[in-house]
Structure 1
């Protein structure tokens, strides 16, 4: 063989092929379905990645395989980043992965990275535009789910650290298609109201898909445009959203965000005590200085004129006397006022006056039953007379008094209203105004109208 065509061994050939593959193919992203998964004691992960028409051997070496966020299983669709190389022992090419994730989350991750790069290029995540939190937040708006664990953690920490803080929970969805628009609208309204010193966005942990509302471009722009500082506390410490990058402050958890927003009341109390002690020390120092200046002034006066000092003391004595006199008169007036008040109270509660009041009340109460009885008797008399008139109008005796009589049968006392009810020789009784007349029927005669009928 010539030098232009050297003879190569299989290992040399595989080495050349490996070098060619690794130099010609950069890192690639591959999506497919897992199969033939093995994990030997070495900790490496071996599998195949396949689609409907082909498959490729793959490997993921330790320790990369130990940091996977999911458990590889047959048929799972994944997305991975790796390099193409040659396994020289078998002469097979394979993909060696340094990153592997579930395919659905991978698509979201790529969208996340693309949007992050674009917004970062616009300067929305620039640290120079972010503002610090107020030293003392007086009123805080918390945009979160009203039923989640995050709001309970935040309110508990705030109540423990600074009970005087005014907290208003603005309820919102934190997951789903409409969550981002609702959060952005609440954020804009909170900023426009001018009520709040800061706004907290809070949500518990979850997957990338669960937290996707906080990666919405509209929400990110609303955070960047907020006129008040925004604190983002979304997910766990390892979770990052675009809202975290746009917010003025990013907290790893909602509880930590509450601690960042307000100081501990015990720290404030200690600070107030220190300030009070400092003020007292300054006051004592200044008082000592004033007393020293006064002493020096007194010494100068004494050295200059004893008569002036005597006059000064006399004026001071007179001023103190006038002050003492005014205080004494004020104290006497107060005592007189208290005595007058006590006298008025005693007069109002004197037993004689109380007894007179009770006697007057007893007389009023005694007059009430008599008047009531008189009114009842008068009312009953009127009713009785009305009933008597009604009874008299309905009584047959009223007819008798006008000259008529009431005829009844003698045997059974039945009222006689027709000649058909009696016969000749039958005894009857006639009731007149002043008594009863017993009569015997001599005969019966009908009226002409009845005969005609």
Structure 2
């Protein structure tokens, strides 16, 4: 095999790692300028441990940072206790850790130097977005109770992705999970996160979205305070859970999200219910339903027994016998009253018949009388109404006669 690498001259003696680190340590720690140096910068993160206060001092514009520590024995002597976002003037010395090959500033004194640039930018952006209503609680949407598809936006190399997967498998197995990878640290992270959220929206399958990353220093969380990321979360049509792994600080992404969980595991727990808990709740509901049914049946049986006892006390058979006797007596009265009314009506009808028979013209004719009528059918009532030679009809008790008048006498003859 042909090698195109130049021939290197290897010296007879080479420094070990410890030797090189020791040499660098001697250069830094024995330098007069570094043994007592004043440094100004902004505190980006501060954590209190048993041995002392550890924090990072950074220059936001130059994107440079240095690790600092104040031992417990020195804390009470500080004029200002380092806190995130503060601009400080630090007095200390450079110290090298041979085991890690890193250097840090051992702090003796800290003086206030005003508000830090990063903290000022954060506060200004927060106030502006808050005035627009992006953090308004009324805008926040409720999460679906039983999501079918869940989307996760995080780095594929992040431990948060593994934590979320394990939590989802444990709590809600069978859930469809969509993974939209994104950078979650560095200058390219904001644009990557925005693109990952838009990718999920265009897919249009997810019911809820988790934006997550693991823990880290505050400077590593800068992408979650980027205005582009905050607006992408606020404009997202899918409910968003922010599962960013930090407990001490609150990012603007947390404020814009519908739910803030602070850790990837907590975000996954917020997104889905626990299947075992659902089964327990279902069993409790079934038991409560059975209990309610038994209570209703018991109450109905008690009511039925009470009615039965009440009927027994009322001696229903005696009541029925009394009602039967009452109905029989009323029936007899009705029959007697109807018979009496019928008899009275019959007598009245017979009386009317007798009166009608007396007044009947045919009866009068049968007794020997006759009715004389003109040709037009009118009854002849007087002799003067008849003229000689006029033809009349005589109605007898049986039959009729047609006669011709020969003479009209001035008066009737008595028979």
TM-score normalised by length of structure 2: 0.47
Higher relative contact order, chain-length normalized (CA < 8 Å, sep 6+): 2
TM-score normalised per structure 1: 0.43
Greater helix share, structure number: 1
